[in-house]
Amino acid sequence: MQSFAYIVASILFILGLKRLGSAATARQGNLLSAVGMLLALVATLIDSGFSWGWILAGMVIGGAIGGYAAKKVEMTGMPEMVALFNGSGGIASLLVGWASSTPGTTLTPAVSIPLFLAVLIGGVTFTGSVVAYLKLSEKIDGKPVMFKGQQILNIIILAALLLCGVLYVINSGGIGNPWLILAVLLSFAFGVMAVIPIGGADMPVVIALLNSYSGLAACAAGFIINNTVLIVSGSLVGASGIILTGIMCKAMNRSLGNVLFSGFGSASSSAGKAVEGEAKPISADDTYYILEAASSVTFVPGYGMAVAQAQHAVKELGALLEENGCEVNFAIHPVAGRMPGHMNVLLAEADVPYEQLVEPDDVNPNMAATDVAIVIGANDVVNPAARTDESSPLYGMPIINVDMAKTCIVLKRSLRPGYAGVENPLFFCENTRMLLGDAKASVQSLVAQFKED
Amino acid sequence: MSSQNDLLNSMKEQIGLMQDRLVGMEARIDGLLEAAPEPVAAVVSDGSMGLTLFVFALAIFLGVELITKVPSQLHTPLMSGSNAISGITIVGAVLTLQNLPEGSPLVPIIGFLAVATASVNVVGGYLVTDRMLGMFKSKKEDK
């Protein structure tokens, strides 16, 4: 009965994930997987011998916290939220592993090895996610933290973890096993060390990777208790997280190792060729005249749009342009923002229909025929040096070719280089105009001018 | 008469010896019981490692196949939705609170914390994904 329910739950998870892959069925897919979760939980609870007090207290308290956070979070705060949920899954798997190390039992290696792995991966996921959360919510500086001997320290921690693992498996059992407790602390330390050298713009990769880890931790917990539903769903999540990580790395033309260990944009990496020329500023009035005459406009949003909370104003401008007989779309780079799909969520919140959200490969071929490309708080993903300058650290990264549009208007706070510290020759192009100032205020003044007529 | 007494005496002797042996055996069983590990808890797996590894490998391949073709606009909901699935560790958390071993007050507390954190993951993950997906609108639905 129970194993039958677990099989059905696993099938629901698989169908749910499949349906999450298409916009029309995604919501239904999420619901299916939630039903699977409920089924697996109920099937587990029909057994006897539970300490109901502890279970109910845990579910009520945890469920209330999770539910409250999910209802209250702003869409701009979504990357932090996902990081925190990842972290809570990680620590849960660590605790499951720890509590399973029951005193007085002799654990076979088939149990003690996954138990150790659940603790290790769960711990890394937990502190890694917490550091990612702190960086994303700007409670700590988002810049990469690098120091001398960092790699050596990492290797020492890893070696110590390996040693703890061997000693734990040999002397298994007991929640007070000193090697297990040491491993918990070391995995916490390793999670922190793994995420501090990674900068804000590389966060999409980290979030996707931590997502994968939280699945693998659950999978390891499944091996401890020999429970197939945990193993199946944990490895599904682990695999999907790895795929997503790969997509993010490919969108930046970098290897995973490079993202994790290089501290991109830190002082050691070159800033590419110095760019000569002068940026040409433009007023909101002149921008309005250009837009009014345009028959096709492509918006390219970036993290700056999220910071300025400009998505609603941008949507309004897009709608007014459409009324004006202009063709409007939003070109979204896979790594724009701080998590995979960040811009899509923000624009969806502002009611932009998803047909208008397009990928770089779909807009680049038509860019030369586009009248105006408006870049809102994006920088590195539109840097033409990625195409032309072999000495640039961005060289080879697929970008959105806004410099090829007839006119390119860049909304930017100042002329400083972007996150990666790389000069952007786009600002000095013949057909580029800079609309300096807060992105939201600039877009709102454009909207106001359209409404006046 | 004497032969009968002899027989009875020897029987008595035998019974005494048997008694001694039984006592010795009893002591040995006691010793074995003390030395033997506590009965293995229900949560600990048996030896079907090969099969579970097989299931694991298949599920990894299935996950890879399922995810490769997801459009980038769905990356965030996919991530938070799959993150909610990783909250399945709640099943493991609940099982740690079954048949608690005597004399370790720490286990229920750890188990409670595991259930609580896994619940945050499950409830929060599904709700936030649903909220996000509710915002994805098609142009057709708008009009």
Residues in contact with A156: Cβ distance below 8 Å, sequence separation at least 6, in sequence order = none
Answer yes or no: do A425 and A384 share one domain.
Answer: yes
Look at residue A125 and tell me whether its pLDDT is greater than 50: yes
Answer yes or no: do A401 and A434 share one domain.
Answer: yes
Answer yes or no: do A294 and A165 share one domain.
Answer: no
- Judged by CB atoms closer than 8 Å, whether chains meet at A82 and B46 is answered as no
- Judged by CB atoms closer than 8 Å, whether chains meet at B115 and A55 is answered as yes
Output the pLDDT for position A16.
93
Answer yes or no: do A256 and A288 share one domain.
Answer: no
For chain B, the residue count is 143
* A279 occurs within a structural domain: no
Structural contact between residues A298 and A364, judged by C-beta atoms closer than 8 angstroms = no
- Judged by CB atoms closer than 8 Å, whether chains meet at A211 and B86 is answered as yes
**What's the domain count of chain A?**
2
> Looking at beta carbons, which residues of chain B come within 8 Å of A207?
79
Answer yes or no: do A243 and A327 share one domain.
Answer: no
- Judged by CB atoms closer than 8 Å, whether chains meet at A55 and B45 is answered as no
Answer yes or no: do A223 and A134 share one domain.
Answer: yes
The CATH number of the domain holding residue A386 is 3.40.50.1220
- Judged by CB atoms closer than 8 Å, whether chains meet at A49 and B86 is answered as no
Residues in contact with B67: Cβ distance below 8 Å, sequence separation at least 6, in sequence order = A17, A21, A239, A240, A243, A244, B78
* A86 occurs within a structural domain: yes
Output the pLDDT for position A105.
64
Output the pLDDT for position A273.
56
Output the pLDDT for position B42.
42
Answer yes or no: do A197 and A294 share one domain.
Answer: no
- Comparing alpha-carbon positions, the chain B residue that sits nearest to A30 is B81
Output the pLDDT for position B85.
94
A33-57 average pLDDT score: 91
Average pLDDT, chain A: 86
> Looking at beta carbons, which residues of chain B come within 8 Å of A70?
123-125, 127-128, 131
Helix (H, G, I), strand (E, B) or coil at A444: helix
Answer yes or no: do A255 and A291 share one domain.
Answer: no
Look at residue A240 and tell me whether its pLDDT is greater than 50: yes
Output the pLDDT for position B40.
44
A83-92 average pLDDT score: 94
* Tens of pLDDT, residues A296-340: 999 999 888 888 888 999 999 999 999 888 999 999 998 888 888
Give me the active site residues of A, please. 380
> Looking at beta carbons, which residues of chain A come within 8 Å of B60?
235, 238-239
Lookup result for tokens 């059992």: A173
**Residue A434: which domain range?**
284-452
Q: How confident is the model at residue A8 (pLDDT cuts 50, 70, 90)?
A: very high
Q: Nearest CB to A17: which of B61, B82, B128?
A: B82
Answer yes or no: do A249 and A342 share one domain.
Answer: no
* Tens of pLDDT, residues A197-224: 887 778 888 889 999 999 999 999 999 9
Output the pLDDT for position A115.
92
* A44 occurs within a structural domain: no
Any idea what the Cα angle at residue B9 is, between residues B8 and B12, rounded to 5°?
A: 85
**Cα atoms in the 13 Å half-sphere on the side-chain side of A344:** 28
Q: Nearest CB to B38: which of A75, A105, A176?
A: A105
The identity of residue B42, as a single letter, is A
> Looking at beta carbons, which residues of chain A come within 8 Å of B50?
none
Q: Nearest CB to B101: which of A102, A107, A218?
A: A102
* A252 occurs within a structural domain: yes
* A112 occurs within a structural domain: yes
Alpha carbon of residue B46 to chain centroid: 11
Answer yes or no: do A78 and A187 share one domain.
Answer: yes
The identity of residue A102, as a single letter, is T
ipTM above 0.90?
Answer: no
Give the whole-number percent of chain A exceeding pLDDT 90: 38
Task: Identify the residue among A102, A113, A206, A347 best suited for mutation to test binding to B, counting B beta carbons within 10 A and taking the highest.
Answer: A102
Answer yes or no: do A228 and A289 share one domain.
Answer: no
Answer yes or no: do A84 and A223 share one domain.
Answer: yes
H helices of B1-124, in order, are: 2-35, 49-67, 75-85, 89-95, 106-119
- Comparing alpha-carbon positions, the chain A residue that sits nearest to B44 is A225
* A196 occurs within a structural domain: yes
* A272 occurs within a structural domain: no
- Judged by CB atoms closer than 8 Å, whether chains meet at B127 and A217 is answered as no
* A348 occurs within a structural domain: yes
Beta-carbon count within 10 A of A112 CB: 25
Q: Nearest CB to B128: which of A50, A73, A237?
A: A73
Q: Which stretch of A57-66, A264-273, A442-451 has the lowest confidence by average pLDDT?
A: A264-273
Q: Does residue A123 or residue A147 have the better pLDDT? A: A123
Cα dihedral B24/B25/B27/B28 (nearest 10): 120
Give me the tens of pLDDT residue by residue for chain B, a chain 143 residues long.
567 788 888 888 888 888 888 887 777 777 766 665 544 444 444 556 788 888 899 999 888 888 877 787 788 889 899 999 999 999 999 998 887 877 778 888 999 999 999 999 999 999 999 998 888 876 655 43
Q: Which stretch of A46-55, A311-320, A387-396 has the lowest confidence by average pLDDT?
A: A387-396
> Looking at beta carbons, which residues of chain A come within 8 Å of B77?
20, 26, 30, 341, 345
